[in-house]
Structure 1
Amino acid sequence: MTKQLVRPAALALAILLLTACARQVPEAVSHGADVPGFWWGLWHGFIFPWAWIGSLFSPDIAVYAVPNSGGWYDFGFFVGITVLGGGSFFGSRRRDRD
């Protein structure tokens, strides 16, 4: 294996091992009509930058809803941050090189 492949493979393995340790507390997942789902996750992901700044100044502001519906809320939150929040747009812009 070349040196160019070892670092990305090691990084991917480290990330995989760290994510394997992650779990959601069962009390944080709930199923009901009033529990935030995909659409609320999408909205919360979109407003994340502003909510995070607000949470620094007020303990009443949270960036993530608990309890939520679990996987669908998480997926909506991820899409809201990456797509609507500009996460994938700003990283993919082509920069002019001199």
Structure 2
Amino acid sequence: MKNVFLVPLALLIIFFATGCAPGPNELAESTNAMGELAGFWKGLWHGFISLFTFIVSLLNDNVTIYEVHNNGALYNLGFLLGVMAFYGGSGGGAGRKKK
């Protein structure tokens, strides 16, 4: 009986989660005012400093966490790797043996 409710519930959760996904970035693959396009290395750096950038963005409207003028998937990959590196997303705590 539990499986009868589990599958529709899982589908409903997936439906709502995908409904929260952001739309396309229309400024991707377009350069900024200085003619620059953020790539993997800038994404890595922006991900690494995301906590500090967030704090500054609360105080200054000209600062954003994410560079919209980026090259797409490589910038996103760098950003996520930078966030994981800073916040310790490597799973080191999960691999530790409990005493």
TM-score normalized by the length of structure 2: 0.67
Distance 2:89 2:7 in 1: 24
**Structure 1 runs not aligned, ≥5 long:** none
* Counterpart contact for 1:40–1:76, Cα < 8 Å: yes
Instruction: Please identify the structure whose Cα radius of gyration is greater.
Output: 2
Gaps of 5+ in 2: none
1:15-54 matched pairs, under 5 angstroms: 15-19=17-21, 22-25=23-26, 27-30=27-30, 34-54=36-56
Greater helix percent: which structure?
A: 1
- The counterpart of 1:10, out of the listed 6, 9, 12, is 12
Q: 1:1-30 CA distances to partner (integer Å, 9 max, x unpaired)?
A: 3434443332122222443x62111x3423
Call closer, same or farther: CA 1:14–1:77 in 2, change over 3 Å: same
CA RMSD, 1 decimal: 2.8
Paired residues, number? 89
Asked if 1:73 is matched to 2:75, the reply is yes
Alignment CA distance shift 1:6-1:93 (3 Å): farther
Equivalent positions of 1:52-91 (< 5 A) are 52-81=54-83, 83-86=84-87, 88=89
